[in-house]
Amino acid sequence: MGSVTIVAPDGAIELLDYSPDVFSPTDFHTDFDALATLYCIDPAMLACEDKRSYNVYRVEIDGILVRFMEDRFFVSAMVEGRLADERLRSLQQNTLATLCQLEQAEWHIVD
């Protein structure tokens, strides 16, 4: 059972309960476990937010810093060095798969 809180313009609060069968199978909720692994190749190298910049995340892979800058409709990545081709492909594939899962929409790389 779930619930929704409704706050009316006059400040009145109403709590509505609903059963799980109310939402269709196409409804989705954010997968916070997937969100935690965004921008990484393996769980030992999780990305951390760059406190100096808004919506910028960093991860170090094989000694190379990779920065991800999130915008409203896209994510830019900057590799500060040279990653091995297979590591770069793995990072790209994992990032795309996680974004697709989180957004329930298709993502792709634009050169």
- What contacts 61, CB < 8 A, 6 or more positions away? 41, 45, 83, 87, 91
- Place 41 in a pLDDT band, splitting at 50, 70 and 90: confident
User: Does 26 score more than 70 pLDDT?
Assistant: no
Contact 89, 28 (CB under 8 A): no
In this prediction, residues 47-71 reach a mean pLDDT of 90
Say what the pLDDT of residue 28 is.
60
Structure tokens, 77: 């990545």
Domain ranges (residues) in the chain:
28-103
What is the number of alpha carbons within 13 Å of residue 93 lying toward its C-beta? 8
pTM: 0.68
Say what the pLDDT of residue 31 is.
77
Structure tokens, 103: 């957004």
Say what the pLDDT of residue 25 is.
52
